[in-house]
Structure 1
Amino acid sequence: MQRSRDGPAEAPMLQLDHRLLRTLLLALAILAVCCGRAVAGSRVVVVTAERSGAHEETLVALRTALAPDVPEGDMEVLGLRELDRETLADARIVVTIGTQAAKAVGARMPAVPVLYTLIPRDAFDLIQYGPHVDRYSAIFLDQPVHRQIALLNIALPHKPNLALLASPASNDLARRLASVAREQQLPATIEKISTADEIYPALERLLAEPAVLLALPDSTLFNSYTIQNVLLTSYRHRAPLVGFSPAYVRAGALLALYSTPAQIARQAADAVRRVLAGGGLPPPQSPREFEVATNPNVARSLSIGLDSAERIAARLRQREGRPEVKP
Structure 2
Amino acid sequence: MSSISSESARRRVGILVFDGVKMLDFVGPAEVFVEANQAVNGYEVVLLSADGQDVQTSIGARVAVGGAAAEAGRFDTVVIPGSELPASVFVTPEVLAAARHLSAHTRRLVSICSGTAVLAELGLLDGRRVTTHWKYAPDLARKFPAVEVEPDAIFVRDGNLYSSAGVAAGVDLALALVEEDHGADVARRAAQLLVVYMQRAGGQSQFSASLTGPLPRSPLVRTVVDLICANPAFPHTVQTLAAHARVSVRHLTRLFRSELEHSPAEYVAFIRFGVARDMLHAGCSVTEAAMGAGFGSSEALRRAFIARLGISPRKYQQRFRTTGSAKWSALPEPAIAAVS
TM-score (norm 2): 0.37
Query: Greater helix percent: which structure?
Result: 1
| Structure having the higher Rg | 1
TM-score (norm 1): 0.38
Q: Which has the higher contact order (CA 8 A, sep 6+)?
A: 1
